[in-house]
Structure 1
Amino acid sequence: MFWQVGLAVDAVADPSALLKQTWPLPVTDHPRFVRQLAQLNQVASRLAPDEQWQLRYLDAWEAMYEGQYAKSEVQFRDIIQHSSDSRMADRAAAMLVSQYGITRHYTEAFELANRLAARLPQITDAKVRFMVTLNLSQSLGLAGQTDLAIRYARIAMGAIPAGDGPCYPAASLVVALETGHRLKSGSPELQQALAACPAAKEPVYNANLMLTLADRYVHEGQSHRALALLDRIAPSVEANDYAPNKLSALISRAQALVALGDDDGARKAALAVVAAGKPGDIDDWLKDAYKVLYRIENRQGHAAAALDYYKKYAALDKAYLDDVSARAMAYQTVQQHLLAQKLETEKLGRQNALLRMRQTLDTKKAEANHLYLALLLMALAFAALWMFRLKRSQLRFKKLSHLDGLTAVFNRQHFMGEVDRMLRLLERRAGAACMVFIDLDHFKHINDTHGHAMGDEVLRHIVAVCRKHLRAVDLFGRLGGEEFGILLVECSRGQGVAIAERIRLAIEMAKVESDGVAVGISTSVGLAFTDTSGYDLQRLCKQADAALYRAKRSGRNCVMVDDEGDADRLAAV
């Protein structure tokens, strides 16, 4: 063994030349990159100081590729803080932005991205500027800023440095479109990216794009095409040994097979994804695997197993939605922090200017000015305090006027007003929403049998159950009597049905107890979606109400959507 290492070291006659050969290899020929990286680390002492920093960057890149994020973060930070080469520091910062996104350190990711964006005009190296622009596109896409992510990707496509190809910016544009739910199998951007990333030169990116195309096929109902494509690229995915691509291939195969009725094949692929998961994972692959397993067990009549998989799927789906909200919140927090810093800087500038003016005055005039200023500040403080207390009282009464006195959710008038306002906002940015109408089954019987006090307790309990399944951005109101309305913001059809079903199941499982009496409850739910009903409030409510009445007529205690065909398909699942 030792003599083999010695031979390898002796074989590196020119470490600098080997370093230059290694730079383009990470995604074009990863196995060769790993071998040459090992050789370079054996002769690191023979490299110049700036070349040693380049080697440390490549080591950090490989650690990130292998999922050793704690190790790669330390290495990237060391480069950012101590490298005398600003180009290498900027490269490391760009990679660290991507890693923070992967490890869900969103606040750190967006803070570092903002610093890079501010520094972008000072970055003169074309290759570094190109890389920073691409990573900014990725981080903004993660924050839900799809238009900005697309813009940065197109900027990179228009400024490809010499020696680089169009693959990376083309692939970044596809990622931005996919993250923003704007990508289809026939999208020209996807075809352009595949042409720009041929398998012979960019095997990792090519495989990733092919898997994106397969995923689009699956979601567009073209399962046979998806399977054919997955079979064709399987050798490349295996050779690259890139874990995300392997998981993506497995889940697309499972989804295609279950759609075609091949339960055994779909189960095998889905269980392989589950086996690769780790405790605490909330990625889409694991969530979709549980959904496939639920569909299989439900279709085969295994109720207990189906319920177990559905609970795991629902938990991951909620965690995923919470993660999306966390990203948006982190982005807004960083933006507000930057605004506060800007305001503080402007405030200090004004204070310094005022100080210089005061220094030109004589002592007595300065003392008089200080006295006048103190009196003015006291008056302003008293006025501000009075206005604050008055405003707080006004806001309190205004808030109380918007709430239902029994359940403390929005009353009907305020709920409808807020929904109308939100629909207009969503229409401007082509967002999606789901209107949910909930009506308690046989509520009059509860009032007649157990009294109105029990009825009130049931309504308060139902509101508490529903709140557990809603996000901060969702709108919740009491429409009257035992009927409630919910607007799920930025919610696809699949997510809306899943959330409504979780609420229905939670209400069904809940028992309300008062004075030793337990009452069981069930509810009927009607859904309407903006993708079919549009953003008109009256039409959306009419469709949700119609779906609710179909649920009532279908025996109650079920979820119906605004389209009968969708309802049939939901029942089949």
Structure 2
Amino acid sequence: MIYSNKFLIIFLFAYLLLFSITGFTESISIKLEEADNVKSSNPSKFSELLSSLEEQKKLLDNEQRYYLRYLQAYQLAFSGKTEKSKTILKEILGSEASETIKFRSRLTLINFYAYNRNWADGLSNLTVLLEELPKINNEQYQNDGLALAAMFYNQIGQYSLGLTYANQLEKQTKDARQNCLAKMFKFESIFYTTDLKVDPIEIESAINACNKEPIAANLLRTYVAEMHIQDEQLEHANTLLLKYIHEVESVKYVRLIVRFYSLIAETYFKQSDFEKSAYYSNKTIEKAVNIPTTQGVINSYKFLYHIAKKQSDFSASLLAHEKYSQLNQSYIDEITAKHFAYQLAEHKSFEQQSKISLLNEKNTLLETKQALSEAEVANTRLIIMVLIISLLLFIFWAGRLYKAHKRIKELAEFDALTGIFNRGHFTQVATSTLRYCKSAEQDLSVIMFDLDYFKSINDNYGHATGDWALKETIKVCQNVGRKNDIFARLGGEEFCILLPSCHIRSAALVAEHCRSAIEDIVTEASGHDFKITASFGITDAKTSGFELEKLLADADEAAYDSKKSGRNRITVFTVEEEPEQKQLDSSWSIT
């Protein structure tokens, strides 16, 4: 009887202990969920809960520890310690945490990569995230993944993919906020896809759906304003933007404010209200001090350049144009980087698929050998057949891989429109050439030129005609130059020719021949009748030295003097002690 009472007491004690542990574990889970729910809405409460959970860390099970680590990574990111946060998130991805915690960690990590413009790592992680998406049972997290995919693909200019995921999110979400985000990403994709048209009724419906999300609603309004500007309904665009400008300023989202200011500046510029256009252009630049390569800032410098030019303030005009050219090139470089990152991600995916295919072929070969081991003759024949098929597949995939490598190399080194070097590759080749000419004590000259009134060609006859003019210009200039001359497109309608082992007088003759050939281009083949001319600037290493930046700057200055002197001429750069640069018009000759 005594023993049975002791056994009963021990059993009751064990039961109560197990019950208390279970209750404590449930209490921790509730606290983790509470911290998750208030992490963005109540940071102080969130911090208190994490401190309390950290004190109880030894009592947490593995899954709860990983959950806590994820929330701590979020807290670090919220306080600006992104590198520490990224380290924790990567640790979680390599751990035994649940699929859901890993999925959420990867979501946050991709957001970091997008913010830091690390497109390559962002794309590789996004590919994994989309593969994991069907395994996630939580609808909220699934929709977060779709929203992130739509946002990321839109940011790198892959708008068709962005539209696909935005449509998918819009179709399956029941949450009002996520529905608003889906519509915002959807119309962003449609707006920047040239073969699709934005339906004004649908976009107005989207704005109404985002009435509690001022950032999304006003971003959609900017698309409406841009459509008004494209349709030359400038008053409508201006009225819409000014109506909501105070609401936009109150949300303090810099990118949206910059977009509003720049569009207002554009409406005033096109209405010839240059004072107000300059005012909003300057406001755009001041506000975007940390995001200088956005399209709004670039456009603002362009407006200031034209305004200063019209007011004959040439120093301000030159300063604005230099800043515009610099930022526009940075913007183009960033777009190129995004495109290259996407091509690289596709290439890696293709390479992975190739490896899987080859592994599958090897497995098939082994299975075939085993299955045919009983019939020696048949086995030999099948092995030969499989080897031939494997070889053909290998050759096929190797050919595809070679083409992909070749395409990536072309994108990295050549201008897609004209086929000559782009600025990045030109810089590498030119630097090597300068080094060689300097060590060999050889002459070296530089010619820079850009097309006169090229913007009016685009405006009057369309961008297709402008592209035709650029290609024809390159074609006639290549016929004039030597095979070892280095020809590059530096940006827009600006070109450069580096002439190794060439005296400046010979370079001036080449420039004159190019100028004459450009002037003689017959434009009727483009479907329009117009005149193409160009302004040239020339310098050499004896005058400007063997530093590439100095050579380009001096040649550009000479080209600018050609512009100021009436265009369609060449100018040889001279040093400052000479009273003024020698102007070379179409009648110039060397004696």
Q: Same fold (TM over 0.5)?
A: yes
Question: Which of 176, 182, 189 is the equivalent residue of 2:189?
Answer: 176
**1:107–1:331 Cα contact (<8 Å) kept:** yes
Q: Write the mapping of 1:144-223 to structure 2, written as runs, cut at 5 A.
A: 144-161=157-174, 166-181=179-194, 187-198=200-211, 201-223=212-234
Residues 1:130 and 2:173 aligned together: no
Q: Is the 8 A contact 1:130 1:160 kept in 2?
A: yes
Preserved contact between residue 93 and residue 112 of structure 1 (Cα < 8 Å): yes
Query: Does residue 1:468 correspond to 2:489, yes or no?
Result: yes
Deviations 1:143-195 (CA, angstroms, capped at 9, x unpaired): 44333321211111110145755211111102212333567775344222201
Trace 1:17-56 onto structure 2 (pairs within 5 A): 19=35, 22=38, 33=41, 36-47=42-53, 49=64, 52=68, 55-56=71-72
**How far 1:331 sits from its partner (Å)?**
1.5
Which residue number corresponds to residue 514 of structure 1? Answer: 503
Structure 2 CA distance for partners of 1:246 and 1:542, relative to 1, 3 Å: closer
User: What's 1:248 paired with?
Assistant: 259
Normalised TM-score (structure 2) = 0.59
TM-score (norm. length: structure 1): 0.61
Q: 2: distance between equivalents of 1:461 and 1:267?
A: 46
Aligned match of 2:6? none
Runs of 5+ unmatched residues, structure 2: 1-29, 54-59, 407-417, 422-462, 536-565, 570-591
**Alignment match, 1:108:** 121
Give the letter aligned to residue 435 of structure 1.
W
Alignment match, 2:550: none
- Equivalences, count: 427
Report SS of the residue matched to 1:468. strand
State the one-letter code of the partner of 2:104.
Answer: R
Which digits, 9 at most, give the CA deviation of each residue in 1:434-480, with x for residues without a partner? 32257779x9xxxxxxxxxxx99952499744x2337xxxxxxxxxx
Label 1:83 to 1:187 Cα distance change in 2 as closer, same or farther (>3 A).
Answer: farther
Note the alpha carbon deviations across 1:185-231, whole angstroms, 9 max, x for none.
75344222201100xx2223223323343344444433333333333
1:308 matches 2:319: yes
Larger RCO (CA within 8 A; separation ≥ 6): 1
For the 8 Å contact 1:251–1:285, the answer to whether it is kept is yes
Q: Among 453, 476, 481, which residue is 1:459 paired with?
A: 481
Structure 2 Cα separation of the partners of residues 205 and 60 of structure 1: 26
Structure 1 position 121, deviation (Å): 2.0
Could you say if the C-alpha distance between residues 74 and 183 of structure 1 is closer, same or farther in structure 2, counting changes exceeding 3 Å?
farther
Give the distance between the partners of 1:55 and 1:188, measured in 2 at CA: 42
CA contact (8 A) 1:154 1:173 kept: yes
**Pairwise CA RMSD of aligned residues?**
4.9
CA change 1:457–1:130 in 2 (3 A) is closer
Secondary structure, counterpart of 1:166 in structure 2:
helix
In structure 2, what is the Cα distance between the partners aligned to 1:220 and 1:185?
A: 13
Deviation per CA, 1:71-93, whole angstroms, max 9, x where unpaired? 65446445544583433432332
Q: What's the CA shift string for 1:501-543, capped at 9, x where partnerless?
A: x24xx68x999953755515436869x9xxxxxxxxx999432
How far apart, in 2, do the equivalents of 1:324 and 1:287 lie?
A: 14
Residue 551 and residue 320 in structure 1: after superposition, are their counterparts in 2 closer, same or farther (change >3 A)?
Answer: closer
Distance (whole Å) between structure 1 residues aligned to residue 330 and residue 144 of structure 2: 31
139-148 or 304-313, larger mean C-alpha shift: 139-148
Confirm or deny: 8 A CA contact 1:438 1:523 kept in the other structure: no
Quick check: 1:126–1:161 contact (8 Å CA) kept in 2?
A: no
Residues 164/249 of structure 1: CA separation in 2 closer, same or farther (3 Å cut): closer
* Deviation sequence 1:361-395 (CA, Å, 0-9, x none): 989x89x98xx98xx99xx99xx9xxx9xx9xxx9
Counterpart CA distance in 2 for 1:279 and 1:133 is 29
Q: Which amino acid aligns with 1:293?
A: L
Greater radius of gyration (CA)? 2
Letter in 2 for 1:336: H
Cα distance change of structure 1 residues 205 and 439 upon mapping to structure 2, 3 Å threshold: closer
- 1:202–1:253 CA distance, 2 compared to 1 (3 A): same
Mapped to 1, the partners of 2:270 and 2:484 lie a distance apart of: 36
Give the 3 Å change call, closer, same or farther, for CA 272–301 of structure 1 in structure 2: same
Which residues of 2 match residues 314-393 of structure 1 at below 5 A? Answer: 314-355=325-366, 358=369
Q: Choose 185-194 or 77-86, whichever is displaced more.
A: 77-86
- Candidates 96, 116, 129, aligned match of 2:109: 96
Secondary structure (helix, strand or coil) at the match of 2:131 reads helix
Displacement of 1:123 after TM fit?
A: 2.0
**SS of residue paired to 1:180:** coil
Structure 1: which amino acid aligns with 2:327? L
Contact 1:101–1:139 (8 Å) recurs in 2: yes
- The answer to whether the Cα contact below 8 Å between 1:177 and 1:183 also exists between their aligned partners in 2 is yes
Change over 3 Å in CA distance of 1:310–1:85 after alignment to 2: same
Counterpart residue type for residue 490 of structure 2: H
- Measure the CA separation in 2 of the matches of 1:278 and 1:211: 21
Match of 2:153 in 1: 140
Amino acid at match of 1:221: E
Instruction: State the distance in 2 between where 1:517 and 1:315 align.
Output: 31
What is the rounded CA distance, in whole Å, between the counterparts of 2:145 and 2:335 in structure 1?
24
Partner of 1:568: none
CA contact (8 A) 1:15 1:40 kept: no
Moved more, 154-163 or 69-78: 69-78
Shift, 1:44, TM fit = 1.4
Rounded to whole Å, the distance in 1 between the matches of 2:246 and 2:478 is 63
1:59 aligns with 2:75: yes
Q: 1:239 to 1:79 in 2, by over 3 A?
A: farther
Give a deviation string over 1:299-352, Cα, whole Å, max 9, x none. 211223212322322232233233223222222221222122122122223323
- The residue type equivalent to 2:489 in the other structure is K
Mark the CA change 1:341 to 1:468 in structure 2 (over 3 Å): closer, same or farther. same
Q: What is residue 530 of structure 2 aligned with on the other side?
A: 547
1:214·1:229 contact (CA, 8 Å) conserved in 2?
yes
User: Residue by residue, what CA displacement relative to the aligned partner does 1:401-451 show, whole Å, maximum 9, x if unpaired?
Assistant: xxxxxx9979xxxxxxxxxxxxxxxxxxxx97832257779x9xxxxxxxx
SS in structure 1 opposite 2:469? strand
Deviates most, 334-343 or 320-329: 320-329
Q: For 1:252-302, what per-residue CA distance to the aligned partner results, in whole angstroms no more than 9, with x for missing partners?
A: 222223223333333333233333455894322321221121121112112
Which residue identity is paired with 2:48?
Q
Q: Using the TM superposition, give the Cα deviation of residue 15 of structure 1 relative to its aligned residue in structure 2, in angstroms.
A: 6.2
What is the distance in 1 between the residues matched to 2:33 and 2:154? 37
Partner of 2:468: 435
